[in-house]
Structure 1
Amino acid sequence: MTGEPIPGIDPAAVPSGDGCAECLAGGGWWFHLRRCAACGHIGCCDSSPAQHATKHARQAGHPFLVSFEPGEEWFWNLDTGEYYEGPPLAPPTAHPVTQPTPGPAGRVPADWQSQLH
């Protein structure tokens, strides 16, 4: 990586919170979390029932999502369908390790595995 700015990635954008913004507002739950590399929006992954991260990225025209899971560091380019190398992003880079996966606590149905995409 050359250190040149990458269109669609803002290293200074901070995460919007610890969980999927739409799921938290609407009473939903998620399997894994993704962060928009352009604006920091936290949404649920494509395996989650609502798939908010990709919906946000497509509606906003933001091409890169990154994992918001502890221990994972990758960028995904929605336009090309490929993993990508990107710059370090503003912290935090993952949800708190005390937060359960799937989450949030108290909202995950007993049959959650049958509801994954």
Structure 2
Amino acid sequence: MKPNLQNSLNTFKALSEVTRLKIIWLLINMDSKICVSEIIEVLNEPQYNVSRHLRILKKADIIDESKEGKWVYYFIKSTDSEFMSHIKNAVSTISEKDMTIEIERCKQRLLERDS
């Protein structure tokens, strides 16, 4: 199913900000759901900024959330949309070199979660 023009516009607007783009990149490339506190630590952003960015991404229908105990985890929304498949492919091709610090922080944080 093809999105209408407004949905496409909302997606591109949501991805036009660097913090939101980094959040999506991490969710796609780290292959893990991530909670707000982990995103705060990985991106070194204040909680209110991260929460605002997650709301925008959720409103654009790019991410979803699941509550597990006291934690809310965010993940890329699964869809059979060809449009979103192209978006995910485009975002995932952003160079890891541009995300080196964030990747290391995220790997460390995910290891701490598992222990």
- Give your verdict on TM over 0.5: no
Higher relative contact order (CA 8 A, sep 6+): 2
Q: Name the structure where helix makes up a greater proportion of residues.
A: 2
TM-score range (shorter-chain normalised) is 0.3 to 0.5
